[in-house]
Structure 1
């Protein structure tokens, strides 16, 4: 009986050695080690998404996501390196090693999650509608736009586009490369509505809309925003998630939220 127990213990030990070695090898391959060796964290984003990532009057990148990236770099003790990239090429650029993480107001969707890994959500958003003022009193819900007579716009390759196609399949849809182009289509009377994230539509309503548009500000989708990274890196994923939990519980997150999402004072910084 003792011999059997000893044999079982020996087999378990022999099997555990390769597994342990595999864990060490996996840890060595983590992008976390590359970041520490370089002394910099490269963060990918698209600087056309207020109030998350923008360019100020001095040409500096500012916004909620920029501050989030800076805090993540600070927690690692490395330099923050911003990498401005078109949103359509964001995932391919991450996979090709152009930067280490995506912090760009990116919604965690199942389709994207099959290509890259995501952290726990750092913010939950939803789609809203910026509507031409001429429809006030008749278009009271996004559902009222589900008709071919309405031209609805959104940015190509975003969840705004997905939501429009899913919830307003009968509307006449047009896509554009930038958010500002979509909003100006409505402001200038060439489109009836712009479907996009609440903070962005709030900014456009305040800056450009005024008496030309109105905002249906009740989100009609559930969209968690998260940090994107390459799949197969549990150590990096663990670090980011613990960082986010710390950020949300030590006062920094609330200060960032108040600065960028509860106040419009930052608008004076823009071009």
Structure 2
């Protein structure tokens, strides 16, 4: 999810983070040991983790990194039938956590409040199919171009584009973004899709602007389209492809046109937390090199969006 010129990308499959979550639970219990006289916490997991020494001491001692995420964006992050958090992001996060000797504890929040949550220290990281953009790095509102915060740093871990989809057999003549003029689109608030719709609407002829209905999450936008309350929905390609494949057994939706503006997803860290940023970057680089990252993206069928290095702030 993103703002201005960027977005999300490919994906498929599900469930398998259950084992990782079970391990995480064990690690979390272990991380809650008694404090020693010098104030450190007994965290046995970190002793065996190759990159634990890179973490800030307070995080290493706690053994937990709190990850803010909008957990309603299948297949990137969502709840399975048992209520477990699963998806591409949780799997990658768990692999990073293993390198650092910590549990990656996902906490649910609406997408457009995640960066605020970083600033208030509610979360240590935000990982939610968030597109890495210069505006977000610099704390600039993508629409007004005004400074609204300190910004964040991104560790880029995936690449994705944005797609439009409609009800199956009822594309309303929509093939491109320009075809949305005079029609209604449902989008998740604060995402790149939302920004694209606003930018495209400004190009439409008078009286034929794009009507937009925004929602807290993408699943609500899909419900609106399914009921006939909108002509189209836009979301990152992996999410769109998953919705088309699974909703109504594949009978509800169809993708129209090509995905646009592929850009990196980034793990967001509040400005000034350089040690944590570098630790996450090193851990991601490690799982790319040891092959664990490729196993995860292959499991979810999103190899096309894989990265080959852990870049810092690579978005434009």
TM bucket (normalised to shorter chain) is: 0.7 to 0.9
Deviation for aligned residue 1:237: 2.1
Counterpart position of 1:240 = 280
Match runs of 1:132-151 below 5 Å? 132-136=167-171, 138-145=173-180, 147-148=181-182, 150-151=183-184
Change beyond 3 A, Cα 1:234–1:141: same
In the aligned structure 1, how far is the partner of 2:257 from the partner of 2:157?
Answer: 21
Q: Secondary structure at the match of 1:51?
A: coil
Which whole-Å deviations, capped at 9, do the CAs of 1:133-156 have from their partners, x for residues lacking one?
A: 3544832223222x22x1111011
Match runs of 1:83-98 below 5 Å? 83-98=107-122
Counterpart position of 1:130 = 165
Greater mean deviation of Cα atoms: 174-183 or 212-221:
212-221
CA contact (8 A) 2:55 2:279 kept: no
Q: Secondary structure at the match of 1:105?
A: coil
Deviation for aligned residue 1:107: 0.9
Counterpart position of 1:16 = none
Counterpart position of 1:189 = 228
Counterpart position of 2:189 = 156
**RMSD over aligned Cα atoms:** 2.1
Q: Secondary structure at the match of 2:107?
A: strand
Q: Secondary structure at the match of 1:181?
A: helix
Change beyond 3 A, Cα 1:80–1:220: closer
Counterpart position of 1:176 = 215
Deviation for aligned residue 1:238: 2.0
Q: Secondary structure at the match of 1:222?
A: strand
In the aligned structure 1, how far is the partner of 2:62 from the partner of 2:151?
Answer: 22
Counterpart position of 1:41 = 65
CA contact (8 A) 2:96 2:287 kept: no
In the aligned structure 1, how far is the partner of 2:106 from the partner of 2:252?
Answer: 35
Which whole-Å deviations, capped at 9, do the CAs of 1:143-190 have from their partners, x for residues lacking one?
A: 222x22x11110111111011111244211111122111112222221
Whose helix fraction is larger, Structure 1's or Structure 2's? 1
Specify which structure has the bigger relative contact order, considering alpha-carbon pairs within 8 angstroms and separated by 6 or more residues. Answer: 2
Q: Secondary structure at the match of 2:260?
A: coil
Which whole-Å deviations, capped at 9, do the CAs of 1:65-88 have from their partners, x for residues lacking one?
A: 111221222111123322222222
Residue 220 (structure 1) aligned with residue 220 (structure 2): no
Q: Secondary structure at the match of 1:81?
A: strand
Counterpart position of 2:290 = 250
Counterpart position of 1:166 = 199
Structure of greater Rg: 1
CA contact (8 A) 1:129 1:201 kept: yes
In the aligned structure 1, how far is the partner of 2:271 from the partner of 2:81?
Answer: 37
Residue 63 (structure 1) aligned with residue 87 (structure 2): yes
Unaligned residue ranges in structure 1 (runs of 5+): 1-29, 264-271
What's the TM-score, normalizing by structure 1? 0.78
CA contact (8 A) 1:116 1:229 kept: no
CA contact (8 A) 2:215 2:221 kept: yes
Q: Secondary structure at the match of 1:65?
A: helix
What's the TM-score, normalizing by structure 2? 0.68
CA contact (8 A) 2:69 2:110 kept: yes
Residue 109 (structure 1) aligned with residue 133 (structure 2): yes
Deviation for aligned residue 1:89: 1.6
